[in-house]
Amino acid sequence: MDAVIIAVVGPTATGKSDLGLDLAEALAGPAEIVNADAYQLYRGMDIGTAKVREQERRGVPHHQLDVLDPHEDASVARYQAAARADIAGIEARGARAVVVGGSGLYVRALLDDMNFPGTDPGVRARLEERAEREGRRALHEELARLDPAAAASIGPANTRRIVRALEVIELTGAPYTANLPRQEYVRPAVQLGLDCDRAALDARVGARVERMWDTGLVDEVRRLASPEQGGTGPGLGVTAARAVGYAEILAWFRGELTEHEAREHITANTRRLARKQMGWFGRDPRVQWLDAASPTLLDDALQVVAAAGAGTLPRPGEGPVRRSLGA
């Protein structure tokens, strides 16, 4: 049986990177870390993503860091293939994989049964033309015949999703719903969620933004942004330019915000991101929540990992229900 993959998840600023490194050092045998933060994939986006610096990685190998240039768009499907290959390589070396990150979709893509059907511009164009000519309701009725569950969930007003569902059905020969993600691990795994009281989390976020600002976040964005974006570098692509911390400073460079407003917006948007991440992971009943502020956090995490390895964790919905501290 493969060793259980350990995933440290949860909102930003809760200490996921530190716990991941602590676990990698404390586990019996070697361990390697696989990043699951979408923006830490980018080279040069270091301060604003709270990327662990190479000299602070304690000699633990890290994967899926600095694999994209900032002008490239990230792809969940590409990440899934590359990160799963990393995990296979880690296991082949007799090491343990520790996944660390707060990008929920990337965590799901890595751990769960999630398929990414391709696209066909010709098929999509034909369906879009039909939607214009016949009306979206006609296409929705066709979807209802082919995949009633998909039609019920999408509804007749969402042309883009109706077209995509019909495209997937035509390309795969299977119902659209057959390709939707399921909460089903492709390999044995356990998710350790780091939880935090809302007030404490807000304070952590504020301290993190202040630390990033003081250690050169503005200069980092300027080095990456193109002259057209107000910087001196090669430019940030659509995906990278949306990252919290980068988007607000780019808006300042464009004259849309003052420096003070940019800083305030980063703090507010980071707190908003933390709430969103907590909501995403909070909907997954498989996450084993731990108090990020606990003085026994590492021991608590190791106990959960041991229980997962022994198969003694409660099944989702069968164990004690624990509300998120940050909810």
**Per-residue pLDDT tens digits for 11-55:** 999 999 999 999 999 999 999 999 999 999 999 999 999 999 999
| 208 and 108 in a common domain | yes
| 238 and 200 in a common domain | yes
| 64 and 31 in a common domain | yes
| 296 and 249 in a common domain | yes
CATH number of the domain to which 56 belongs: 3.40.50.300
| 247 and 201 in a common domain | yes
10 is in an annotated binding site: yes
Domain count of the chain? Answer: 2
| 267 and 199 in a common domain | yes
CATH number of the domain to which 140 belongs: 1.10.20.140
Where among 180, 198, 215 does a domain terminate? 180
15 is in an annotated binding site: yes
| 104 and 224 in a common domain | yes
Would you call 213 helix, strand, or coil by DSSP? helix
206 is in an annotated binding site: no
| 50 and 156 in a common domain | no
Domain that holds residue 163: 121-180
| 223 and 275 in a common domain | yes
258 is in an annotated binding site: no
296 is in an annotated binding site: no
135 is in an annotated binding site: no
97 is in an annotated binding site: no
CA 210 to chain centre: 24
pLDDT value at position 322?
A: 53
The DSSP bridge pattern shows strands 182-185 and 112-113 to be antiparallel
| 287 and 141 in a common domain | no
Report pLDDT digits (tens) over 246-255.
999 999 999 9
Does residue 316 lie in a domain region? no
| 190 and 86 in a common domain | yes
Indicate the DSSP class of residue 134.
Answer: H
226 is in an annotated binding site: no
pLDDT value at position 116?
A: 86
| 248 and 100 in a common domain | yes
Report pLDDT digits (tens) over 141-193.
999 999 999 999 999 999 999 999 999 999 999 999 888 778 999 999 999 99
Does residue 317 lie in a domain region? no
Task: Assess contact for 194 and 9: CB atoms under 8 A.
Answer: yes
Report pLDDT digits (tens) over 285-318.
999 999 999 999 999 999 999 999 999 998 776 6
Helices within the chain (DSSP H only): 16-26, 76-92, 104-111, 121-134, 136-146, 148-154, 159-172, 198-214, 217-224, 238-241, 246-253, 259-282, 297-310
